[in-house]
Amino acid sequence: MNMVMLTIDGKQVQVEKGTTIKKAAEKLGIEIPGLCDDNDLKPFGACRLCVVEDARGNLVASCHTPVREGMVVKTNSPKVLKARRVILELLLSSHNADCFECDKNLHCKLQKYAYELNIRNIRFKGEKRNYEIKDNGPIYYDPNKCILCGKCVRICEEVQHICAIDFASRGFKAYISTPFEKPLLESDCIFCGQCVRVCPTGALAEKTDIERIYEAISDPNKVVVVQVAPAVRVALGEEFGLEPGEIVTGKMVAALKRLGFDKVFDTQFAADMTIVEETAELVERLEKGENFPMFTSCCPSWILAVEKFYPELIPNISTARSPQQIFGAIAKNYYAKKIGVARENMFVVSVMPCIGKKFEATRPEFNNDVDAVLTTRELARMIKESGIDFIKLEEENFDSPLGESTGAAAIFGVTGGVMEAALRTAYSIMTGEELEGDKIEFTAVRGLEGIKEAEVDIKGKKVRIAIANGIGNAKKLIEKIKSGETKYDFVEVMACPGGCMSGGGQPYTDDPEFRKKRMEGIYKNDRNLPKRKSHENEEVKKVYEEYYEKPCGPKAHEELHTHYHSRKKEY
């Protein structure tokens, strides 16, 4: 390995050859500001806010300039600070400055750096943009707040391989657009929300359901129940100053009850139901030898990608609904009848790490089973605006009968989790025996690699599996399958890199280790639960006994399964 020694702000540091100046500075604990740089993206150098001064007095962009042996760099010289202030003033001169109305007011990097660089007066007077804000479904897009950093375009292209948006026009009139300026709803967008996650300003955000939910809670005729996804409980605490991955389940439940929800249930209960249904379907397919590989169906953005790009794979998608939609169906059918409430008076809210879940809830196939969806960020906003001191809350438990869950459901929040949960139950169905101890953990499916492959031996039956981490990797995997290069029985796909834990609705963070920390929190949650296999969930068993009779039975197929259709010609 070739190493390079350089000096930054008078301190020597040794890094691998090819490392950028910005990354080298991070090793010394020096933060160089930047609006276009991101750990998931290739260096771009669009904003120039990361300029540093070299030994010859030249200003260079540190985010994409590689280090050299003996290089001497200053990151905070008068020349550097003056240049950064000018760059920020130019950006702010034409920026829509309605900060009080901006969704990212507390997370805007433009505001952060303006404060840190002591910008008090903007000397330049630029022309304000006045672009039309179109209906984009669950994603709010305001081109007037865009600073053309290109992060949304690049993550859509480089990571997700979707290319739904790109730069349009030139010069001052440049903006980010879909082809032919169509709304996102009519584009190739799959609403994964990764563009929202990386946007440094308020140009991109989720459309909020907060007011609708408050109205429902205030309606005496409505019974308002809420479900919370696995990945939320290892990220929500970040909004209140806690570390990524810290499990805040009890405080989260207490906060939701303080907000006025009639019942607080767990999406992990529905995840256990999903595994029972999906695994029964997998075993049935293995017996019949039909429609392989079977793909998971939990991720709404993955489903949209299939409908838009690979409709020929629709027969290969598991017909089991996602945990969000399974919960909605159970709440509005089984639970509503159980407590004597009319379906139309049951209002179901989801708290999800995902913006795509907002779109999923509107799909006509799901009969309005879920009425409104909150992202993790939106829930944090509701807690804060209600004056609830989250850190000081006493922990409370989920309500019954839709509140019990197992460790298998907990790991839905991380890539490979659905596969591992399914294997735990598949082993039981196929062998009549139970996995115990360390054997319950299928470590081959864990980790953040782009594509993971394994062959699992279930009492002599070889089950070939694969996990795709992000849509970009899913596309690579599909091409391998279509070419006949490899064959699988079961494939898991999660649209967001790392899985739901880094979904587009999760708290914004600059922590480069956030995925690793959240993942550790999810696996810790799995280990902490007394039961770790979905089919052992007593409340799931009770729902089958009282209502659905058996997995993949007629009633279960009617309410817990669905179908999808090609959207290839619809946009």
Active-site residue, selected from the candidate residues 145, 238, 298, 307: 298
Could you give the count of Cα atoms lying within 13 Å of 312 in the half-sphere of its Cβ?
Answer: 4
Is 552 annotated to bind a ligand? Reply is: no
Active-site residue, selected from the candidate residues 301, 318, 322, 428: 318
* SS3 (DSSP) at 446: coil
Select from 74, 59, 57, 76 the least CA-distant residue to 6: 74
Active-site residue, selected from the candidate residues 53, 360, 378, 492: 360
Is 146 annotated to bind a ligand? Reply is: yes
Inter-residue contact 73 to 57 (CB < 8 Å): no
Is 102 annotated to bind a ligand? Reply is: yes
Is 299 annotated to bind a ligand? Reply is: yes
Active-site residue, selected from the candidate residues 109, 263, 357, 358: 357
Per-residue 3-state assignment (H helix, E strand, C coil) for 461-524: EEEEEEEEECHHHHHHHHHHHHCCCCCCCEEEEECCCCCHHHCCCCCCCCCCCHHHHHHHHHHH
Does 281 participate in catalysis according to the annotation?
Answer: yes
H helix or E strand, kind and range, residue 553: none
Does 566 participate in catalysis according to the annotation?
Answer: no
Q: How far is CA 467 from CA 191, 449, 470, in A?
A: 21, 9, 9
Is 496 annotated to bind a ligand? Reply is: yes
Contacts of 19 (CB under 8 A, 6+ apart): 4, 66, 67
Where do the H-state alpha helices sit in 28-166?
78-93, 109-116, 151-154
Is 567 annotated to bind a ligand? Reply is: no
Is 163 annotated to bind a ligand? Reply is: no
Active-site residue, selected from the candidate residues 290, 365, 433, 570: 365
Does 298 participate in catalysis according to the annotation?
Answer: yes
Fill in the amino acid letter for 37: D
Phi, psi of 27 (to 5 degrees): -65, -25
Active-site residue, selected from the candidate residues 500, 502, 536, 559: 500
H helix or E strand, kind and range, residue 451: strand 451-458
- For every residue of 10-26, DSSP letters joined together read TEEEEEETT-BHHHHHH
- For every residue of 329-396, DSSP letters joined together read HHIIIIIHHHHT--GGGEEEEEEES-SHHHHHHT-GGGTT-S-EEEEHHHHHHHHHHTT--GGGPPP-
CA atoms of 295 and 94, how far apart (whole Å): 47
Active-site residue, selected from the candidate residues 238, 239, 277, 281: 281
CA atoms of 175 and 127, how far apart (whole Å): 14
Does 360 participate in catalysis according to the annotation?
Answer: yes
Active-site residue, selected from the candidate residues 53, 206, 278, 441: 278
Inter-residue contact 539 to 269 (CB < 8 Å): yes
Q: Which residues are catalytic?
A: 278, 281, 298, 318, 357, 360, 365, 500
**Which residues belong to the annotated binding site for [2Fe-2S] cluster?**
22, 36, 47-48, 50, 63
**Binding-site residues from annotation for [4Fe-4S] cluster:** 95, 99, 102, 108, 146, 149, 152, 156, 189, 192, 195, 199, 299, 354, 496, 500
Q: Which residue positions form the known binding site? A: 22, 36, 47-48, 50, 63, 95, 99, 102, 108, 146, 149, 152, 156, 189, 192, 195, 199, 299, 354, 496, 500
